Homo-oligomer: A and B are copies of this chain.
Amino acid sequence: AATGTQKPLAEALDQLAFNDQGLITAVAQQVDTGEVLMLAWMNRESLEITLKEGRACYWSRSRQQLWRKGESSGQVQWLKEVRVDCDGDALLLLVDQQGPACHTGRRSCFYFDLNGERMEVVKEPMLDPASLYK
């Protein structure tokens, strides 16, 4: 499709390739620095909430409920843009992350470096995770 081609939102959502659990992967990226913050999952409802409220809302697979990022930690992801990929089975959220994205207090959840010999912790927490959940 040519640049500028449009489709109404409802039609676009109908065509997303949610998996057999009704979920789609969502990658959150910090809009100004480009840092990849985390990967999470959305169902259709959480995506609609995200678009409507302007902040990331995921589906928590462990708790089986909607998860407005930051609702307990205060570390909200303000939404700037949402992108869908070529085959409609992944989302990229450009966000402005308040504080750390990770429950360990790190800016990004991707803090283990893996190479042919070992895995190593390569990032420091921004703050004590005990201060995130009171």
Contacts and interface: CB of A to CB of B under 8 A. Distances in A.
Interface residues of A, number: 51
A107 to B, nearest CB: 12
Which 10 interchain pairs have the tightest Cβ spacing? A34-B34, A12-B119, A83-B110, A84-B112, A39-B90, A85-B109, A82-B114, A92-B110, A86-B109, A5-B121
Copies of this protein in the complex? 2
Given A5-B120, A34-B35, 14 more contacts: A1-B121, A3-B121, A3-B122, A5-B121, A9-B114, A12-B114, A27-B36, A36-B36, A36-B92, A39-B90, A81-B113, A82-B113, A84-B110, A85-B111
Contacts of A85: 38-39, 109-112
A103 B86 contact: yes
B51 A9 contact: no
* Residue of A1, A7, A83, A113 with most chain B CB atoms under a 10 A cut-off: A83
